[in-house]
């Protein structure tokens, strides 16, 4: 199992490869706001754990294992953002909230949150009912 820090890297590397077709150490460093030497260290660790293959001058590629987990990590992040939006969390803190919880929640909980997101997406009136409750609660404060 990857550590939270490894998860952040795998998630970001997967996204970079999706968007640009490759992930350079400098791009990863910029995206994660860390020093390139930290990226190199982590990339070597991920290589050792068979999540990717790293060659100093040729860049890196995800292995099948790295690609599979990267995809799931990006899905998890996006699902949690959708969930936060649905429950009405202020857009200004959604990203930070998701970054804070994504590594500390079981895949079982993720699946159940997926059901709940689907529940609200399948019928617009369900979201309206939730918003009505929230309006009432806000007025009561």
Contact 71, 14 (CB under 8 A): yes
* Residue 8 counted as an annotated binding residue: yes
- Find, among 89, 80, 88, the residue nearest to 111 by Cα: 80
- Shortest Cβ 140–Mn ion spacing (Å): 34
- C-beta of 94 vs 130, nearer to Mn ion: 94
Question: Helices marked H in the chain — which ranges?
Answer: 4-20, 25-32, 36-48, 64-86, 91-101, 107-122, 124-140
- Find, among 85, 86, 5, the residue nearest to 13 by Cα: 5
Among 2, 13, 14, 77, binds Mn ion (CB under 5 A): 77
* Residue 27 counted as an annotated binding residue: no
* Residue 11 counted as an annotated binding residue: yes
What are the CA-CA distances from residue 105 to residues 20, 39, 113 (Å)? 29, 25, 11
Taking the C-alpha atoms of residue 74 and residue 125, their distance in angstroms, rounded to an integer, is 28
Q: Which stretch binds Mn ion (CB under 5 A): 21-29, 46-54, 73-81, 130-138?
A: 73-81
* Residue 18 counted as an annotated binding residue: no
- C-beta of 81 vs 127, nearer to Mn ion: 81
- Shortest Cβ 77–Mn ion spacing (Å): 4
Which residues of this chain interact with Mn ion, rule CB under 5 A?
77
- Please state the residue numbers annotated as binding site for Mn(2+): 8, 11, 77, 99, 102-103
- Please state the residue numbers annotated as binding site: 8, 11, 77, 99, 102-103
């Amino acid at each position: 199992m990857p550590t939270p820090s490894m998860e952040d890297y795998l998630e970001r590397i997967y996204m970079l490869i999706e968007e640009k077709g490759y992930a350079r150490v400098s791009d990863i460093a910029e995206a994660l706001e860390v020093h390139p030497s930290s990226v190199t260290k982590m990339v070597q660790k991920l290589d050792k754990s068979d999540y990717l293959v790293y060659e100093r001058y040729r860049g890196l590629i995800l292995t099948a294992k790295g690609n599979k987990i990267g995809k799931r990590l990006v899905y998890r992040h996006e699902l949690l953002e959708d969930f936060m939006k649905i429950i009405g969390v202020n857009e200004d803190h959604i990203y930070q909230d998701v970054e804070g919880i994504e590594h500390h929640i079981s895949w079982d909980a993720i699946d159940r949150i997926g059901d709940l997101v689907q529940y609200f997406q399948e019928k617009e009136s369900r979201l309206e009912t939730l918003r009505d409750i929230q309006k009432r609660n806000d007025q009561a404060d």
